Structure 1
Amino acid sequence: MNFFRIKKTYYSARRLQEIINVFIKHGFGQIIDQIHLGRFIALKKRIRSFGRWPSYKVPSLAERLRIAFEELGPTFIKLGQLLSSRPDIVSIAYAKEFKKLQDRVPPFETEKVYEIIEKELGVSIEKIFDSINPEPLGSASIAQVHEAVLKDGKEVIVKVRRPGIKQQIMLDLIILNSLAKLIEKHVPESKIFDPVGIVDEFSRSITKELDFRREARNAMIFRENFKDDPDVYIPYVFREFTTEKVLVMEKVEGLRIDDVDAIKEKGFDIEVLLKKLIEMYFKQIFDHGFFHGDPHPGNILVTENFQIALVDFGIVQRIDEKFKEAYANVALAIINQNTDKLITEYLKLGIIPEEIDKEKLKEELKEDIEELLFPIYTYRIEEIKISELIESIMKVALKHRLRFLPELLLIDKVLIMLEGLTRQLCPKISIIELLKPYAKKIISKRLHPEFYLNKTLKGLNEFKEAALNIPFQLKTLLRKAVKDEITVRMYHVNLPEFIKDIDKASNKIAFALIVSAMILSSAIMHATEVKPLIYGISLFGLITGVFAFFLGLWLIISIIRSGKL
């Protein structure tokens, strides 16, 4: 166990040094200094820079950060992709830059693919597959995909997790968590962006993506949800051949949805096809409360039977009835150009910092949103671009330091991608027009007496549970009061760190005074020729001077390496 800890610490330190060097290379040396990680910078580089880091040839901070993420590999590329969908955290400029991150890496050896499959399934390849195509269909940072044929002749897709990737990502997550805490501690203005919260959200997201059993369950839920829909096809998952590292799924033959020429050659109607696609997504969001979060053209196929097939179920999201109702209200408020309603519902879907005055915020939001959306409201419904609408609202949210729930942002991302696809293939289709009946359907539920009855019963049940807990809570409080166990804790936010800094500074001053005293003593002993003498130099004076020289040099190096020069 001790050896494992030493090994883990060694690899962590090496990886941290690699990360720091990449950030310095791309012009972030000042931030490394600020978060007190100067000790991980090579002494030669520290002395050369002497606290002044060179400017980088690419002026844009967002672009430099994106290039650094690409160089640091899979974990950071995935982090950048997550941040690309969180403009409320990193700003629109950074989100747009992170969208350029490409998750494509060279494939790993076919022998490794076979080895992983056999180890995971516990049998030889020949007993399961009739053949496996050694050339991968695609290769990404977490997995690569191969075509294969089962023993019974069924064509399948085999997804295999990249060897060692989980260990690498887990190590990077530990380092990212430490970096986030240091950033929050030493860069106070970063707390607005909640670095630790970002890393926690990313950690949950990527951990799910590493386990293919979760993706298999997602696919099975989609298949069940659409089992009676003749326009949608979800591939079958072979559960008996699926593990944490291997996923075997039915191969779907079809055309990419953006392959317009091939679709037209088949005699399919593009407009009808896109309407089916959009309605399928609205069913997922508003009927099922479980939707596919990555609708890029490569994940949507058109089959021979004119069905829409979805593939890749790694990014999905659940939403509850309360969320669906609020989102439907947002859609209707936009359609009806009701700014007050839009603000109220968006605030329900967002996270408002406690220190913000809500009434004042509503007034400021109304003024800003009306100013931004007034030009859009002059358009006809079919002319409104969802991407422009969402970006306008996001700008206002950023201005007022509002956060949005991940579910909301993922729905927004889905709608933007669908709108981009429809405008590319059939501009006359209006997503907002197709959204209208779904929004009205959800709102109409509130007009039914059953809706209010259920809501009332739920409220009464919550009140009953709270009332039943009051005696127990009072009893606990009184018991603690009698035993004198009630304490009031006060904590000064930055006092411990301030005391540590004062201690370090005072220790360095005391150390410097000792060195100065030794140099002075050496000079006095030399001047008064304190015996014994060597070549006319006092031996004690010489020893004291040499010792003082090395102590002084040590002090200077420690100051330089601390990054506080």
Structure 2
Amino acid sequence: MAVLRSYRRFVVVFWQFLPLLWGWARDKRRFLLFGGSRSVTPEMRRERAQILLDSLLALGPTFIKLGQLLSTRPDVLPPEYIDVLEELQDRVPPADWSAAKVVIEDELGPVDEVFDDFDRESISGASLGQVYTAKVDGDPVAVKIRRPGIEELVEADLRVIRWSIPLIVRFVGQGQAFSLENLADEFAKTIREEMDYAREGRMLQEIRGNFTDNPDIVIPRVYDDYSDARVLTMEYISGTKISSVSELEARNVDRSEVAETLEEAYLQMIITDGVFHADPHPGNLAVQDDGSIVFYDFGMSGRVDPFVQDKIVEFYIGVANQDIDGILDALIEMGTLSPEADRAVMADVMELAIQDARGEDIETYRVQQIIGKVEDTIYEFPLRLPPNLALVLRVATVVEGVCVTLDQDFDFITVATDYLADEGYREESIKQFVEGTAEDFQAAATSAVRVPPKLERALDRVEREDLHIRADLEDDNRVIDKLGRRVVLGLVLATSVPTTAFLYVTADLLSAGVSAAFTTAIALALYRSFRRRKSGLRASPQFTRQNLRERD
């Protein structure tokens, strides 16, 4: 039955996405079976992104979550799609109480016996769960219940997504195909983790423990005896929605201080603790009257391994110091930027990104604009993002958006730089730089001693005409092979044309006709070698100042 449901679901999904598939197919061949490719304008991409958004909403909870994940993956979709999918909200009408009651009673027992009081009207509804208020021993709690029947729907949709990947990769480039296959695995892991409320409870408690000594960060505690894999009971803490600027003003809350507190909290989670709340949109953040920030919904949470933490620190320090080489090194070592990318071009990209983001004061620029340029580059090359790093990049941009909503003059980089200095990261980087410079100086001194004798021996061999040089030419893209093929075809064509003319004059028509047919075939082959995009002698798309200006 489960597989049969998946087949039915596949037909529904295919029909929903058919207009997009049709458009992508025509992009490759204008008339499907023949014809050249057609250019796709940004306006066309935005229209298709809106169609994709409507399709995801129509297909329900699993695909809403998929759209949210896609909005964090600029290595899979162009920037126009990312901009549209960022508007995707995880809000759907709650299920009937009678269905939710079955879930909670299967996990914990009769509702009225387990809780002192339980409000049957949910206070929020999402694609995977819904939240109710209740009381335990007189204390207000929030009870998060997994949406009834969601497990079967999600598993069916995951099969559909896995079956659809081979079809979709036919319409995208090799880099996006690789990313899509990884994305399917990542999404299956992520959505199963998000449905596991026991895991969410553990992540919540771990993050809460990391902020025990920080009164400015408030995280609800978990009631373990009232929680299970499908039900999570937490302390209920109220507050003003963090994006309600006018209400915060009325409560005399220092919004600039709140923005700084929020950024420092995420820097601590990502750089220091290695475990972070990964869904910082305004609906999951509230502010109390004393300026402390309340975090809700830890279903989306992630971990950062120590290596990536170190590289993120290096990235921030590179941005703060305007060290282009340091930024590129950090991105390459994290796996965000391909080592094979044109480093000079990428240096120009980063230089322009920093110049575009810089204000009148040379130290005031925003990391979101820098990351936005990098994300655009990621799609153009295309490159590949490690899953957790994609989530970190997404968190950074969303957090900055919330901070700018609170304070339009908020300087993300200055706060990050101050945090790194307070925690000793910048001093450590300077120490490593000094140590590295000393090692380089020592190696240079050693080379200075060793090189002259070797150079003298080489010159002696040149004088004796005993010096041989071997060069291995790498041609991964078969450029030389294609060029050689064109030269051969050109030579054959150059000889076959006069040969055909000679046969036409001196021999019978049959011989001339055969020669003419051969000449036509050679001419067509040579023409197609120049017409085929895949066979053309061209480089991969790279960024230049001109196309950056055109994009802006």
Question: Deviations 1:436-465 (Å, cap 9, x if unpaired)?
Answer: 03334224335679x99xxxxxxxxxxxxx
Partners of 2:24 and 2:251 in 1: CA distance: 57
Aligned counterpart in structure 2 of residue 370 of structure 1, from 345, 351, 365: 351
Seen in structure 2, the aligned counterparts of structure 1 residues 322 and 77 have a Cα distance that, compared at 3 Å, is same
The answer on whether the counterparts of 2:353 and 2:369 sit within 8 Å (CA) in structure 1 is no
Measured after TM superposition, the shift of residue 61 of structure 1 is: 2.0
Aligned counterpart in structure 2 of residue 128 of structure 1, from 106, 110, 114: 114
Measured after TM superposition, the shift of residue 247 of structure 1 is: 0.7
Residues 11-410 of structure 1: pairs in structure 2 closer than 5 A: 11-24=5-18, 26-29=19-22, 60-121=47-108, 123-150=109-136, 152-184=137-169, 186-187=170-171, 189=173, 192-194=176-178, 195-351=180-336, 358=340, 361-377=342-358, 379-380=360-361, 383-410=364-391
Partners of 1:392 and 1:106 in 2: CA distance: 37
Measured after TM superposition, the shift of residue 33 of structure 1 is: 12
TM-score by length of 2: 0.70
Question: Deviations 1:155-213 (Å, cap 9, x if unpaired)?
Answer: 000111111111111011011111113434x4573553422211111111111011111
Give the partner amino acid of 1:385: R
Seen in structure 2, the aligned counterparts of structure 1 residues 366 and 156 have a Cα distance that, compared at 3 Å, is same
Aligned counterpart in structure 1 of residue 3 of structure 2, from 9, 15, 18: 9
Partners of 2:106 and 2:232 in 1: CA distance: 14
Give the partner amino acid of 1:431: F
1:429 maps to which residue?
410
Partners of 2:364 and 2:354 in 1: CA distance: 13
State the identity as a percent: 29
Partners of 2:425 and 2:431 in 1: CA distance: 11
1:501 maps to which residue?
none
Partners of 1:378 and 1:231 in 2: CA distance: 30
Partners of 1:243 and 1:259 in 2: CA distance: 33
Measured after TM superposition, the shift of residue 406 of structure 1 is: 2.8
Give the partner amino acid of 1:343: L
Partners of 1:17 and 1:241 in 2: CA distance: 40
Give the partner amino acid of 2:4: Y
The answer on whether the counterparts of 1:256 and 1:301 sit within 8 Å (CA) in structure 2 is yes
TM-score by length of 1: 0.68
Give the partner amino acid of 1:261: S
3-state DSSP class of the match of 1:100? coil
Partners of 1:58 and 1:404 in 2: CA distance: 22
Question: Deviations 1:109-153 (Å, cap 9, x if unpaired)?
Answer: 1122222111111x2112211221121111111111111112x11
Partners of 1:299 and 1:131 in 2: CA distance: 25
The answer on whether the counterparts of 1:337 and 1:377 sit within 8 Å (CA) in structure 2 is no
Question: Deviations 1:76-133 (Å, cap 9, x if unpaired)?
Answer: 1111110001112212111112122232222211122222111111x21122112211
Give the partner amino acid of 2:380: K
3-state DSSP class of the match of 1:88? coil
Partners of 1:420 and 1:209 in 2: CA distance: 24
3-state DSSP class of the match of 1:249? strand
The answer on whether the counterparts of 2:331 and 2:337 sit within 8 Å (CA) in structure 1 is no
Question: Deviations 1:463-491 (Å, cap 9, x if unpaired)?
Answer: xxxxxxxxxxxxxxxxxxxxxxxxxxxxx
3-state DSSP class of the match of 2:8? helix
1:494 maps to which residue?
none
Seen in structure 2, the aligned counterparts of structure 1 residues 421 and 11 have a Cα distance that, compared at 3 Å, is closer
Measured after TM superposition, the shift of residue 214 of structure 1 is: 0.9
Question: Deviations 1:293-320 (Å, cap 9, x if unpaired)?
Answer: 1112221122344422111111112112
1:444 maps to which residue?
427
Question: Deviations 1:30-79 (Å, cap 9, x if unpaired)?
Answer: 77999xxxxxxxxxxxxxxxxxxxxxx99822222222111111111111
The answer on whether the counterparts of 1:183 and 1:190 sit within 8 Å (CA) in structure 2 is no
3-state DSSP class of the match of 1:107? coil
Partners of 1:442 and 1:387 in 2: CA distance: 22
1:557 maps to which residue?
none
Farther off after superposition, 435-444 or 79-88: 435-444
Question: Deviations 1:377-404 (Å, cap 9, x if unpaired)?
Answer: 4642564132221111222233322222
Give the partner amino acid of 2:9: R
Seen in structure 2, the aligned counterparts of structure 1 residues 104 and 406 have a Cα distance that, compared at 3 Å, is same
Question: Deviations 1:277-307 (Å, cap 9, x if unpaired)?
Answer: 2222222122212121111222112234442
3-state DSSP class of the match of 2:355? helix
Give the partner amino acid of 1:149: K
Partners of 1:253 and 1:283 in 2: CA distance: 24
The answer on whether the counterparts of 2:269 and 2:275 sit within 8 Å (CA) in structure 1 is yes
Measured after TM superposition, the shift of residue 227 of structure 1 is: 1.0
3-state DSSP class of the match of 2:327? helix
Give the partner amino acid of 2:259: L
Give the partner amino acid of 1:445: E
Seen in structure 2, the aligned counterparts of structure 1 residues 381 and 157 have a Cα distance that, compared at 3 Å, is farther
In structure 1, stretches of 5+ residues that fail to align are 1-6, 35-56, 453-565
Aligned residues: 415
3-state DSSP class of the match of 1:179? helix
Measured after TM superposition, the shift of residue 249 of structure 1 is: 0.5
Residues 494-513 of structure 1: pairs in structure 2 closer than 5 A: none
The answer on whether the counterparts of 1:382 and 1:428 sit within 8 Å (CA) in structure 2 is no
Partners of 1:191 and 1:342 in 2: CA distance: 23
3-state DSSP class of the match of 1:384? coil
The answer on whether the counterparts of 2:75 and 2:176 sit within 8 Å (CA) in structure 1 is no
Partners of 1:216 and 1:59 in 2: CA distance: 39
In structure 2, stretches of 5+ residues that fail to align are 28-43, 436-552
Seen in structure 2, the aligned counterparts of structure 1 residues 187 and 280 have a Cα distance that, compared at 3 Å, is closer
